Amino acid sequence: MKENNSRREFLSQSGKMVTAAALFGTSVPLAHAAVSGTTHCDANNTMKITDPHYYLDNVLLETGFDYENGVAVQTRMARQTVEIQDGKIVALRENKQHPDATLPHYDAGGKLMLPTTRDMHIHLDKTFYGGPWRSLNRPAGTTIQDMIKLEQKMLPELQPYTQERAEKLIDLLQSKGTTIARSHCNIEPVSGLKNLQNLQAVLARRQAGFECEIVAFPQHGLLLSKSEPLMREAMQAGAHYVGGLDPTSVDGAMEKSLDTMFQIALDYDKGVDIHLHETTPAGVAAINYMVETVEKRHS
Nearest to 134 by CA among 112, 88, 165: 165
Exposed e or buried b for every residue in 198-237, given b needs 16+ CB within 10 A?
Answer: bbbebbeebeebbbbbbbbbbbbbbbbbebbebbbbbbee
Instruction: Tell me the pTM.
Output: 0.77
- Mean pLDDT for 152-172 is 98
The answer to whether residue 130 scores a pLDDT higher than 80 is yes
pLDDT band at 49 (very low <50, low <70, confident <90, very high): confident
Burial class (CB in 10 A: 0-12, 13-18, 19+), 181: buried
- Mean pLDDT for 164-174 is 97
261-296 tens-digit pLDDT: 999 999 999 999 999 999 999 999 999 999 999 999
Element (H, E) at 108: none
The answer to whether residue 232 scores a pLDDT higher than 90 is yes
Nearest to 187 by CA among 244, 246, 103: 244
- Residue 138's pLDDT is 86
* Cβ-proximal residues to 161 (8 Å cutoff; 6+ apart), any chain: 130, 131
- Single-letter amino acid, residue 230: L
- Residue 27's pLDDT is 34
Give Cα separations from 130 to 8, 38, 162 (angstroms): 29, 30, 10
Q: Which domains does the chain show, CATH number per domain?
A: 20-115 (no CATH), 118-298 (3.20.20.140)
CA 115 – CA 210 distance, rounded (Å):
14
Nearest to 105 by CA among 84, 89, 91: 84
- Residue 9's pLDDT is 39
**Residue 15 gets which letter from DSSP?**
S
Torsion angle, CA of 128/180/85/201, rounded to 10 degrees?
-50
Contact indicator for 75, 65 with CB cutoff of 8 Å: yes
The answer to whether residue 12 scores a pLDDT higher than 90 is no
% of the chain surpassing 70 pLDDT: 84
- Residue 10's pLDDT is 36
- Residue 135's pLDDT is 87
Averaged pLDDT score across all residues of the chain: 88
Q: Are strands 47-49 and 53-68 parallel, antiparallel or unpaired?
A: unpaired
Contact indicator for 186, 124 with CB cutoff of 8 Å: no
- Mean pLDDT for 220-243 is 99
- Residue 298's pLDDT is 86
pLDDT band at 169 (very low <50, low <70, confident <90, very high): very high
- Residue 286's pLDDT is 98
The answer to whether residue 8 scores a pLDDT higher than 60 is no
Identify which has the larger pLDDT, 257 or 5.
Answer: 257
